[in-house]
């Protein structure tokens, strides 16, 4: 808008009219902005209204989880839904979302953030792409182990396999090993399964104790994490929202006008409203150079009128806004 206004005034032959022309086109732009904000507000109010008309929690759910049997994602699914819940594995993050889309599963359990390595950006992007809802979360302590074939020792190992997160989270331990290579593999549990099936004592996997039991492997070294407080947060995703009085955490995504001070203005809405902002993170927009989508977590329940009012205040200052879910935070 500033560039358009400058172009208009630069073309004037009579510079005495500059202020009038500037005010004229500024007024048109202001009317346009107001109209866009009202339309946007109506669209996102419907999103809030959807949240306030949630579906009932499925009593006997089918759950898709990322990874192989024995993965930390399966552990999170068991933690949230119980050992007896029907569950199956998805080979990658998007397959878990497709299981929801094709009605093969009622819920999907996916890792979203690790306390040591940070946010898992692929899951964040898919959550926005599919426009699904977070309805719950589980926090699982991560205790990586080095797993090898029965009878193998750490000195026998020449190749180690794991998910890239498992390798990153165990790098301090890996650096102590000599003449050993490490490679990323599909996930931690699948790495353990591959090592078990290989019959090769020079191969090992970074995975969980449960994977060792499931695939008949020895624990060659335990608690090899860089941090002894390593925890991964898993989200429970559904096609429809769920909301009750116990929900105390809201996740949302938004974009902003590409102007100075816009992010500060939105953050000030949270501060003035007294809502605790738990997290903010940006992801680049693929179709716009050096512009970003912001993802936030904050404390609140949309059944509370004040929380809805503050959320609507945030919405009005954004270009696009999407509620990703209102759910009960995991006990850490």
Catalytic residue among 186, 234, 254, 295: 234
CA dist., res. 40 & res. 220, Å (int): 57
Sort strands 277-284 and 292-299 into parallel, antiparallel or unpaired.
Answer: antiparallel
Sign of CA dihedral 52, 130, 65, 324: negative
Residue 68: C-alpha distances to residues 10, 63, 288 (Å): 64, 13, 36
Catalytic residue among 232, 255, 311, 318: 232
89 alpha carbon, distance to own chain's centre: 19
Q: How many CA atoms lie within 13 A of 183 on its CB side?
A: 10
Q: Does 318 participate in catalysis according to the annotation?
A: no
Q: Does 119 participate in catalysis according to the annotation?
A: no
DSSP 227-276: -TT-EEEEEEEESS----TT--EEEEEEE--SSTTHHHHHHHHHHHHT--
Sort strands 145-148 and 159-162 into parallel, antiparallel or unpaired.
Answer: unpaired
Residue 330: C-alpha distances to residues 1, 106, 135 (Å): 44, 20, 11
- Please provide the distance, in angstroms rounded to a whole number, between the alpha carbons at the two ends of the chain: 47
Within the chain, residue ranges assigned H as helices are: 2-10, 18-51, 72-81, 93-101, 121-130, 164-168, 171-174, 188-198, 209-215, 262-273, 305-316
CA dist., res. 232 & res. 289, Å (int): 31
Q: Count the Cβ atoms, other than its own, within 10 Å of residue 114.
A: 19
> Residue 18: which residues within 8 A CB-CB, separation 6 or more?
9, 12
| Residues labelled catalytic | 232, 234
């Amino acid at each position: 808008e500033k560039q358009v206004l400058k172009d208009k005034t630069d073309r004037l032959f009579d510079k005495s009219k500059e202020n009038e022309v500037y005010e004229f086109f500024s007024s048109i732009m202001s009317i346009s902005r107001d109209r866009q904000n009202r339309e946007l507000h109506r669209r996102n109010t419907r999103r809030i209204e959807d949240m306030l008309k949630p579906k009932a929690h499925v009593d006997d759910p089918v759950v898709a989880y990322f990874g192989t049997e024995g993965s930390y994602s399966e552990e999170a699914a068991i933690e949230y839904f119980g050992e007896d819940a029907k569950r199956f594995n998805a080979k990658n993050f998007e397959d878990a979302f497709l299981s929801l889309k094709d009605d093969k599963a009622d819920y999907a359990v996916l890792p979203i953030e690790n306390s040591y390595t940070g946010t898992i950006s692929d899951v964040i992007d898919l959550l926005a792409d599919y426009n699904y809802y977070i309805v719950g979360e589980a926090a699982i302590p991560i205790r990586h182990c080095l797993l090898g074939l029965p009878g193998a020792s750490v000195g026998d190992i020449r190749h180690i396999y794991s998910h890239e997160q498992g390798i990153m989270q165990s790098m301090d331990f890996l650096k102590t090993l000599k003449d050993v290579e490490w490679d990323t593999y599909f996930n931690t549990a699948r790495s353990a399964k591959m090592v078990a099936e290989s019959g090769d004592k020079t191969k090992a996997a970074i995975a969980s104790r449960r994977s060792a039991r499931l695939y008949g492997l020895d624990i060659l070294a335990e608690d090899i994490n860089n941090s002894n407080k390593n925890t991964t947060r898993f989200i429970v995703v559904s096609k429809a929202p769920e909301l009750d009085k116990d929900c105390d955490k809201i996740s949302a995504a938004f974009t902003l006008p590409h102007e100075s001070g816009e992010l500060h203005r939105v953050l000030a809405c949270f501060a003035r409203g007294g809502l605790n902002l738990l997290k903010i993170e940006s992801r680049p927009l693929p179709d716009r150079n050096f512009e970003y989508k912001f993802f936030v977590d904050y404390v609140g329940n949309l059944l509370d009128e004040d929380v809805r009012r503050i959320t609507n205040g945030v919405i009005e200052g954004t270009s696009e806004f999407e509620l990703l879910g209102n759910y009960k935070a995991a006990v850490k």
